[in-house]
Chain A
């Protein structure tokens, strides 16, 4: 069974600084997707970034980028130029290419300070 581990329950960063959220996963599959979702207090799950396992190039979306290390089964999220609106829970998630099921980590609560 696949597992997703987020070892940082809480993180904080000052506005305009850079922060990295960690995520590791375990799977025996070769075809899968990885995601980072943001959940603000509204509870809406917002897709931040997606990475296909077969792609070696790290995904980027504006201020958000990932460091995907397939051999190490690591998928960290870097947020550059942090903004107050980035304050939220961040969930790392694994999607099986076989079942399409999305499995979540326990989340990291990020607080951005002015």
Chain B
């Protein structure tokens, strides 16, 4: 399958600081990427849709000023958690849309964020 790389895999930051997570499609161009959040023992919750060259579309209840998404190129989307608080600690995972005889979505490895 297609490769989507996410970095960093684990990050610890202090309350009040910002942290950036990168999502790259390594062997295909992805005009659309998605960001999810997963709480322990729960399913994936879609946060936003990232579109190359345009503003991200956020799901209801997701603060766009807190979770900044930038999709500056066809292979890179970034999620920046601004003014992080301990309750932002979670597993964040990105995915990229690929067309192969129909749409398929491939996921990155995910990033563990711990805010202390």
Contact = CB atoms under 8 A, between A and B. Distances in A.
A77 to B, nearest CB: 16
A107 B43 contact: yes
A50 B103 CA distance: 9
Given A43-B93, A47-B104, A47-B106, A100 B32 contact: yes
B41 to A, nearest CB: 9
Nearest to B9: A43
B93 A45 contact: yes
Interface string B9-52: 00000000000000000000000101000100011101001000
A50 B43 CA distance: 19
A19 B32 CA distance: 34
B8 to A, nearest CB: 14
A91 B44 contact: yes
Nearest to A43: B110
Given A43-B110, A101-B34, A91 B105 contact: no
Contacts of A52: 102
Contact of B91 (A43, A47, A104, A107): A43
Contacts of B42: 106
Interface string A37-75: 100001111110010100000000000000000000000
B43 A91 contact: yes
B107 A44 contact: yes
Interface in B54-93: 91, 93
Given A33-B103, A100-B32, A102-B95, A47 B44 contact: no
B110 A105 contact: no
A100 B102 contact: no
Contacts of A101: 34, 46, 49
A52 B32 CA distance: 19
6 contacts: A33-B103, A33-B104, A43-B110, A46-B107, A100-B32, A104-B43
Interface of B: 1, 32, 34, 38, 42-44, 46, 49, 91, 93, 95, 97, 102-107, 109-110
